[in-house]
Structure 1
Amino acid sequence: MPPPAFRRLRAPLAALTAAALSAAALLTVTTQPAHAAAVPTLSPLDVPGRGAAVKFKEQEAEFAATNGTVIGPERRYGTLPSEASGRQAVTLSATGQYVEFTLTAPADAMSFRYSLPDSADGRGRDASIDLLVNGSKLKSVPVTSKYGWYYGGYPFNNNPGDTDPHHFYDETRTMFGSSLPAGTKIRLQVSSIAQSPAFTVDLADFEQVGAPIGKPAGAIDVVADFGADPTGAGDNTARFQSAVDAGRAQGRTVYIPPGSYTLYDHVVVDGVTLAGAGPWYSVLGGRDPVNRNRAAGIYGKYVAGGGYGGAVRPQEANGPSRNVTLRDFAVIGDIRERVDDDQVNALGGAMSDSTVDNLWIQHTKVGAWMDGPMDRFTIRNSRILDQTADGVNFHTGVTNSTVTNTFVRNTGDDGLASWPERVPNAGDSFTHNTVVVPVLANNIVTYGGRDFTISDNVMADTVSNGGGLHIANRYPGVGSGWGTAVAGTVNALRNTLIRTGNSDYNWNFGVGAVWFSGLNEPISGAAITIGDTDILDSSYEAIQTIEGSSSGIAFTGVTIDGAGAYAIQAQAESTMRFTGVKARNIAQSATPTHNCVGAGFRITDGGGNSGWAGSTCGGTWPAPQFTYGGRPGGGGPGTPSPSGTPSPSTTPTSTPTPSTTPTPTTPPGTVDLLHGRAIAASSYTDVYPPQRADDGDRASYWESANNAFPQWITGDLGSPVAVGRLVLTLPPGWEARTQTLTVQASTDGGSWSTVKPSAGYRFDPATGNTVTVQVPGTTARYLRLTFTGNTGWPAGQLSEFQVYGP
């Protein structure tokens, strides 16, 4: 479903000027901060003993002090909150609006995750937001939408005229100039909406960076010894290449002093240590202004027959590289699109007996795309953010290698992946990592491979076309004919999955939090164990089999707590053994297992199981009912919080506290009956289709063709139900206007009756730009609003079309 967009506010200049002056007054008047009213959710950083041990303290915007608008919780693809951590964020859409965090530990730096609306041409917009410390402005921080907003189908583009916008968020970072104590108030505040009509803040990470790391004794200095420019001017590729070549020849570390270094191409490393002053100080970036398929990256040498796509330069051949150490610097690139043939990754090639330690990788295509054969390679203690494709991919012949204690967020494809395309991967592991919000595909996956360990990880907030943990014989080059199929022992132990899987818009049914696929050939002969694992608040089903049979799978000591539809969804034959698998808070509580393959799906009961018995094979896939820590949620702004949740100022607890009974049905009259269902309109303009009036985001909206009344918008409730009232909204920052409309109802979509004759309804920011239309005694499947006038703009406009029972 198309996401929210805020490309224009549809208000006259005079009104915007008056609003700006009014909001500006907020900067000088002390006001009482309003805490965000958000649904409590489990943070991926609050799982003891699992995930990466990060250096920062994270705070979600929806639990901070704010006078903005909380959006979400929502998980439908293409909606702005669906890509937010915890599926909630705060939108600031007027001058003076803010989100304010309180430091829980000393910090001298912060990074924050945000989204700006795209520009009309898809090239992105630049803006800034003020950073205040204890009420005083410290600086303005630049923000941009240039690294987000992709459109259309895979491999995506930057054309706003295409459908399915996604990848909305980005991160930026800044230092305070000094260490600030715990209790300090850090505020992000809008100073102007001239450059961007809205700013959505997802979260902030605070840390103590400290002083830069000094040059190691005896090290080569890329600036002092080889003339590299730390100001970001010009291409330094040749200077860096000469420095690392000298480091190898002389057996000396190569040091990158503090600075920003522009590289137009790969620096090829072999038998050398490349070390920086820390990832906040030594930053590599850049891209060839002419040959756009060349950009900053540190690469090992390729092996003949490896997986490299494209021509290999002479200095990149005859690999693998060996005995490489890369540590304590950042690669922050300038990649704004996905072209799979372009080698514009932060790390690449083949590096055996090598280590990557404490790198910050951002705005590249893939954080590390490793093309073997190569052996004994480690990535550790690193951050990989905002990629257009994968976070890490062990691609072709990567053996005995690992990613550990690494934090991955906002990848455009799989977070951590192993793909042995025609060359086996074996003995690899992904351990103690945190992987959050892969916009496409899976948090962690092995497409084939032998003897793989996936342990002690946290996976959270899958968005689309994938699940949390995926084990499969899928993708080209994976199968027994190449020796690359799933084989040996695969141990997925002590993992926590939070809000993973999704209700997939391509398949029109769910993808599991944990799922198995035998697409290329059956998964057989391997010993696969999913053990000591928590599968929490799954977006559709917790466990899934699909596309081909699987066997040899054992689930041991697994908690399934919350699922939007099923505990188990069997769409392919499989044999499994369940021991101590306990499920609760499953939306389809009467039939928590979906099985249409009959006796082909077999579970051996090892004892200690509960909550997943009872099967169905329905002809219709149910809409998901999302839970958050066992509590219902997902109605978007304006939906009452479930009873029993903490007050708005309370931080969520570190573990879910679900009830011991299945999630209750929300009483009629408090749940939006149209939410998530089909919606259509007589017309729409530009990038404002009718689905935006049903996306749970007050800041997005539908707009009909201009100067062409009458226009209508129709919602399909799925079946005839009793209706009591309609709630219609416009974005909260818009000026007042009156829209003239008629309400009609139908049970079959063919014959219509008028339930409210034509009347003018005033949308006023003083009352939240919200109108309630009472329609008691109405039974309908379809509800239609026909617009014949609008005093604010010559079109029908709605940001939310909500329908409630009597």
Structure 2
Amino acid sequence: MANRTAPLATLAVVLAAAVTTVIWQPPAAHAAGLSPFDVAGRGATVPFTEIEAEKAATNGTSTGTDRTYGTLSSEASGREAVTLDAAGEYVEFTLTKPANAVTFRYSIPDGKNASLDLRTGSTLIKTVPVTSKYSWFYGYYPFTNNPGDGRPHHFYDETRATFGTTYPAGTKIRIQVSSTAQSPSFTVDLADFENVPAAVAKPSGAIDVVAGYGADPTGATDSTAKFQAAVNAGASSGRVVYVPAGNFTLYSHVIVDRVTLAGAGPWYTVLGGRHPTQRSQAAGIYGKYVGQGGPSQNVVVKDLAIVGDIQERVDEDQVNAFGGAMSNSTIDNVWMQHTKVGAWMDGPMDKFTIRNSRILDQTADGVNFHIGVTNSTVTNTFVRNTGDDGLAMWAENTPNVANSFTHNTVVVPILANNIVSYGGRDITISDNVMAETVTNGGGLHVANRYPGVTGPTAVAGTWTLARNTLIRTGNADYNWNFGIGALWFWPDQGAITGATINVTDTDILDSSYAAIQWIGNATSGLNLTNVNIVGAGTFALQAQAPASATFTNVKASGIAQNPPTYNCVGSALAITDGGGNSGWQSANPYCGPWPAPQWGNTTTTPPTSSPTSSPTPSPSTSTTPPSGNLAAGRPATATGQADVYGPGNATDGNPNTYWESTNNAFPQSITVDLGQNRPVARVVLKLPPATAWATRTQTLSVLGSTDGSTFSTVKSSAGYVFNPASGNTVTVPVTTTQRYLRLTVTGNTGWPAGQLSEFEVYAS
């Protein structure tokens, strides 16, 4: 049968006539309750066995199952955990394999430091400290540690402990509360049990950072200079630099180039620390930046842990476990925890590999390949509880080419996506398992988004998205009133065109909202083959932008909404029938109000009413000056926006949301409609009050109009200083009567775009 393209509204008729032999079979595992470790042959091969608290014996209380942002359950693996709130309450795990160590994931109320007991029967194995200091973030991006900002999230942290002996399979290990004096409750999500091997001995001829250079294995003093001296000696002599067992304090980066830095194993050799007075200096292993003698070459870092002390997110701080630029280099068997990013690599750089590693509890991304990273990979790596994208590539201004993320397990990114590439050419994302997206993202994302992702850096070439499993991914975006798909495409800064994107042998299971979504500009060149959709909280397909694709053996079942497709672009969604499809087609796809998600795989009928809109009042002259902010809640438009930072954020009354214009494209304007002609005495402009928004000067003018088409200057262009010390607020006095007020921004010393969190207008 020849392939043909048809609008989705008629596609059901086309497919009904197809006669196809289907040889692909869905996996035996059910979507509901599926663990990321139930998927054979995909994801990372890990050295531990994971047991969920809700599946263990307990006398505690289940948190219940929920995916609503801001709840303990929404951030739990499997979307359920167990709360212990009295002395003697426990979760008891039965070992399925011998183990001598455990990592467990927990949450305690903010501001608390406490402990939990590890027990077997009546025997106390160890008392383990737990803390809230690496969890509990508040407000809107980039988030704060201030409870007064509301919107608490990032509730969980992890800790690890060795038992001192190896317990056989069948042993019952309890995590138990001995006292609630230090914390009124303890929520346990899961436990990872493993049998840690013996420490790796010093290689023959290696330089020892302790014996040879005096590094302090107790962590009592800063060892940065001694590490750097040992690394420099290793580079000049060609000898391995060995870091024996110990806890080493580093107040700043160790710069590596043409050297192997090897530890005794990630449970034995631990690097950490942070400068006591310089917030932006902390433990990390960095290559040389391009322009500063980099990229570094032929670096190997292996068999150690970097466990930092980063408790906040400040995007400009270089407080990552790994950074800089490294070519022909490998990170192998490294544990990264409590840093800002596990590895934020700034190219151009080539042939860089992270493998066999663990990345846990970051305040931002797990990994980001940023600016001209080529032929590089992350493989067989486990990522959990990142504060932003789990694994990301961002081709800002310089193409990322031929990179891959393969055989990784990425779970519970607190913000954004499990795996994403923003632009790039010839990208491979294969054999991964992604689970538990929390908010503002999906499981797997392909996008032309963020600064510098356009033209030669945009999505191009052949993309291979193969043999991936997505479990309970996609979720609500708190900037929008609709959900994000598990697999989603967003060409925000120009259409995805000319590329070939092949999605094959992929399972999209128990999605929180839609299984597949298109938004933004048009997407083309998409081929889906052997894609199994089982369970979706809203739709199988969600088309909010034009898309053209070929579907072959794409099967959907357990879709909450009937019809199973949301399509408000009509024939601009064109699916070519490759045969063997079922469960997502509809002769009359839905377009209307967004339905609430159903997380029980129950088919429902969406709302039947159409969206309502308020008519725009006719222009008139007000004789009584109104009080308060005249722009509050009023419609706002702009010449452009970056990502989700739309103009409506500037009139929503929330100082933490903001409009950001298209980047690197001055001049840019934002216009507010006051509804009718109003006398105006002052304009108040704000940026988010968080100190992370450093002082900046924006050059702007104020224009006005009574009809929305002809604008005149109300205030000539001038520079206005936004300083967090004064609330990041400026006031522009004016004397005018207008219905429409427009700000035109021609410069910003802090970012190459116009930025406003609030555009307020007052009559007095």
TM-score (norm 2): 0.74
Q: Among 218, 222, 229, which residue is 1:242 paired with?
A: 229
Aligned twin of 2:523: 550
AA aligned opposite 2:371: T
* Partner SS, residue 190 of structure 2: strand
Match of 1:496 in 2: 469
Instruction: Please name the residue that 2:384 is paired with.
Output: 409
Deviation digits for residues 499-528 of structure 1 (CA, Å, limit 9, x no counterpart): 000022221111000000110000000000
Distance between the aligned counterparts of 2:465 and 2:68, measured in 1? 28
2:20 is aligned to none
- CA distance in structure 2 between the aligned counterparts of 1:134 and 1:556, rounded to whole angstroms: 52
Write the distance in 2 (CA, Å) between the matches of 1:497 and 1:40.
Answer: 12
| Structure 2 equivalent of residue 175 of structure 1 | 162
Conservation of the 8 A alpha-carbon contact between 2:32 and 2:510 = no
Matched to 1:464, the amino acid is: T
The residue number in structure 2 matching 1:621 is: 594
Q: Does 1:135 align with 2:122?
A: yes
By how many angstroms is 1:138 displaced?
A: 1.5
Q: Give the stretch that moved more between structures: 322-331 or 70-79.
A: 70-79
CA contact (8 A) 1:522 1:550 kept: yes
- Pick the aligned partner of 1:57 from 42, 49, 62: 49
1:45 Cα deviation from its structure 2 partner: 1.1
1:263 to 240, 243, 250: 250
Which AA in structure 2 matches 1:458? V
User: How many aligned positions are there?
Assistant: 575
Distance 1:663 1:104 in 2: 40
Letter paired with 1:608: G
Give 1:423's aligned residue: 398
Q: Deviations over 1:691-745 (max 9, x none)?
A: xxxxxxxxxxxxxxxxxxxxxxxxxxxxxxxxxxxxxxxxxxxxxxxxxxxxxxx
The letter of the residue matching 1:506 is N
Q: 1:196 aligns with which of 180, 183, 186?
A: 183
* Structural mapping, 1:654-669, within 5 Å: none
CA drift of 1:663 comes to: 8.3
CA contact (8 A) 1:150 1:157 kept: yes
- CA offset digits 1:653-701 (Å, max 9, x no partner): xxxxxxxxx5899xxxxxxxxxxxxxxxxxxxxxxxxxxxxxxxxxxxx
CA distance, structure 1, for counterparts of residue 285 and residue 599 of structure 2: 42
Instruction: Please name the residue that 1:378 is paired with.
Output: 353
1:563 aligns with 2:532: no
The CA distance in 2 between the partners of 1:251 and 1:325, in whole Å, is 12
Q: Please name the residue that 2:269 is paired with.
A: 282
Distance 2:590 2:41 in 1: 39
Of 565, 579, 584, 1:612 maps to 584
Deviations 1:758-803 (A, max 9, x none): xxxxxxxxxxxxxxxxxxxxxxxxxxxxxxxxxxxxxxxxxxxxxx
- Structure 2: state its 5+ residue gaps: 1-30, 607-764
* Pairing partner for 1:532 from 482, 505, 515: 505
Residues 624 and 40 (structure 1), Cα distance of their counterparts in 2 relative to 1, 3 Å cut: closer
User: Deviation at 1:163?
Assistant: 1.9
**1:619 CA drift (Å):** 2.8
CA distance in structure 2 between the aligned counterparts of 1:229 and 1:327, rounded to whole angstroms: 20
Deviations 1:124-147 (A, max 9, x none): x21000110233112210000100
| Structure-2 separation of matches of 1:395 and 1:504 | 24
Say whether residues 1:446 and 2:433 are aligned partners.
no
Counting only pairs closer than 5 Å after superposition, residues 43-82 of structure 1 correspond to structure 2 as: 43-82=35-74
Cα RMSD of the aligned pairs, angstroms, is 1.2
Separation in structure 2 between the aligned mates of residue 227 and residue 513 of structure 1, nearest angstrom? 51
1:625-670 Cα offsets, whole Å, 9 max, x none, are 013xx5x6xxxxxxxxxxxxxxxxxxxxxxxxxxxxx5899xxxxx
Distance in 2 between the 1:517 and 1:663 partners? Answer: 27
Residue pair 1:108, 1:210 contacting (<8 A) in 2 also: no
Structure 2 Cα separation of the partners of residues 423 and 237 of structure 1: 33
**Offset from partner CA, 1:60-103 (integer Å, 9 cap, x none):** 00000000001121101100110000000000011111000011
Q: 2:597 is paired with a residue of what secondary structure? A: coil
1:114 equivalent to 2:95? Answer no
Aligned partner of 2:566 in structure 1 is: 594
Q: Distance in 1 between matches of 2:548 and 2:54?
A: 43
1:760-771 alignment runs, 5 A limit: none
Equivalent runs, 1:233-382 vs 2, <5 Å: 233-304=220-291, 317-382=292-357
Are the aligned partners of 1:503 and 1:624 in contact in 2 as well (CA < 8 Å)?
Answer: no
- Aligned-residue offset at 1:210: 2.1
Establish whether residue 217 from structure 1 lines up as the match of residue 189 from structure 2. no
- C-alpha change, 1:154 and 1:510, in structure 2 (3 Å) is same
Q: Secondary structure at the match of 1:57?
A: strand
Superposed counterparts of 1:381-392, under 5 Å: 381-392=356-367
Q: Distance in 1 between matches of 2:218 and 2:340?
A: 24
AA matched with 2:101: A
Letter in structure 1 aligned against 2:287: G
Give the match's secondary structure for 2:151. coil
Aligned-partner Cα distance in 2 for 1:539–1:385: 23
Secondary structure in 1 matching 2:236:
helix
More deviation, 155-164/490-499: 155-164
Tell me, in whole angstroms, the C-alpha distance in 1 between the residues paired with 2:560 and 2:314. Answer: 40
Cα deviations by residue, 1:294-336 (Å, 9 ceiling, x for unpaired): 00000000002xxxxxxxxxxxx21000000000000000000
CA deviations 1:91-130 (Å, max 9, x no partner) are 00111110000110001100000001112xxxxx210001
Deviation at 1:40, TM superposition (A): 6.2
SS of equivalent residue, structure 1 residue 336: coil
Q: 1:458 aligns with which of 424, 429, 433?
A: 433
Equivalent residue runs for 1:478-517 within 5 Å: 478-480=453-455, 483-517=456-490
- Paired residue for 1:437? 412
Query: What SS does structure 2 have at the residue aligned with 1:45?
Result: helix
TM-score (normalizing by structure 1)? 0.71
Q: CA deviation at 1:426?
A: 0.1
Find 2:452's aligned residue among 477, 482, 501. Answer: 477
| Alignment counterpart, residue 603 of structure 1, candidates 544, 560, 575 | 575
Q: 1:757: which partner in 2?
A: none
Q: Aligned partners of 1:619 and 1:43: how far apart in 2?
A: 34
- The answer as to whether partners of 1:585 and 1:663 remain within 8 angstroms in 2 is no
Kindly provide the CA deviation profile for residues 146-174 of structure 1, in whole angstroms up to 9, marking residues without a partner as x.
00000000000011111211100000000
Distance apart, 1:617 and its partner CA = 3.8
Secondary structure in 1 matching 2:229: helix
Q: CA deviation at 1:380?
A: 0.2
Q: State the AA in 1 paired with 2:374.
A: T
Check the 8 A contact 1:378/1:403 in 2, yes or no. Answer: yes
Structure 2: how far apart are the matches of 1:211 and 1:433?
25
Cα pair 1:134 1:184 within 8 Å, conserved: no
8 A contact 2:512–2:537 mirrored in 1: yes
Preserved CA contact (<8 Å) 1:503 1:509: yes
Partner Cα distance (2:214, 2:142) in 1: 39
1:257 is matched by which residue type in structure 2?
P
Task: String of CA shifts for 1:218-268, please: whole Å, max 9, x gaps.
Answer: 000000000000001111100000000000001000000000000000000
Structure-2 separation of matches of 1:503 and 1:253: 48
1:655 corresponds to: none
CA gap of 1:180–1:268, structure 2 versus 1, over 3 A, is same
User: How far did 1:613 drift?
Assistant: 1.1
SS, match of residue 225 in structure 2? helix
Instruction: Give the equivalent residue in structure 2 for 1:686.
Output: none
- 1:42 aligns with one of 34, 39, 46: 34
Displacement of 1:46 in angstroms is 1.2
Paired-residue identity, %: 69
